[in-house]
Amino acid sequence: MPDNVTPHPATRYDAEVRLTIPYYDAIQDECLALVESLPCPPSTWLDTGCGTGTLVARALQIFPTTHFVVADPSPGMLAQARIRLDPGRVTLLDPCPTSSLPREHGPFDLITAIQCHHYLDDEGRRDAVAACFDLLEPGGLFITSENIRPFTERGLSIGKRYWARFQKRAGRTPPDVAAHLARFDREYFPLTITEHLDILRGAGFVAVEVFWASYLQAAFYAVKGEE
């Protein structure tokens, strides 16, 4: 049985995802750079859908006073994160999806959800974003990145060819590339940038922005209002 919702085993995830998603490391770079630009570092940071803990492992080196909480629905992914992360500064939650995050560790100054909600349907994604909104401190920041959907069918066709070319150049076999693209709209469900922004606004965030985008990936931030 797979140990997470991706086709990549948790023990191979870090290597395999870089053959699959363009700019995977650049997305993390941009997220960390955005947090570094804040007036002061976050005291508490929740990373949901943390995977193997790569983002938090990097953040630990940059934000020495921040305490981190990490969550993921996959026991296999959390096992890898536990190996990588400092137990003195990181709390690992029991396996849970974003929509079921426990409240006792919050609220948080910052919540990140990087490349993890595209497996959810529309209702599930709204529930996940609403859970993040509820767990933020007033004035807190939510950062998320996802696969995105082109606005037109022609754009989608071009986008899939672009994605296939990237994966083949990265070293994936043609059958693996075809299998990944066949999961589009069946196992993962990309939204347009506009749809992402609408969900964030609908959750109640007072400022919603795109801060990085490539052809089939985008990163967003959203600010919770002050009470």
- pLDDT average, residue stretch 110-138: 96
pLDDT digits (tens, 9 = 90+) for 197-218: 999 999 999 999 999 999 899 9
d(Cα 185, Cα 119) in Å, to the nearest integer?
Answer: 9
Whether the predicted pLDDT of 37 surpasses 90: yes
Task: Determine the pLDDT at residue 3.
Answer: 54
Asked if pLDDT for residue 54 goes beyond 90, the answer is yes
Domains present along the chain, CATH in parentheses: 10-151+188-223 (3.40.50.150)
- Tell me the one-letter amino acid at 38: L
From CA 113, how far away is CA 145, in angstroms rounded? 7
The confidence score (pLDDT) of residue 2 equals 45
Q: Average pLDDT of the chain?
A: 93
**Count of beta carbons in the 10 Å neighbourhood of residue 149:** 21
Cα separation values, 137 from 53, 56, 196, Å: 23, 20, 22
Average pLDDT of the segment spanning 128-152: 97
pLDDT above 70 covers what percent of the chain? 96
CA dihedral 106, 111, 115, 119 (to 10 degrees): 40
| Rounded Cα distance, 13 and 2, in Å | 12
Q: Contact 74/81 with Cβ under 8 angstroms?
A: no
pTM of the model: 0.94
Say what the pLDDT of residue 19 is: 86
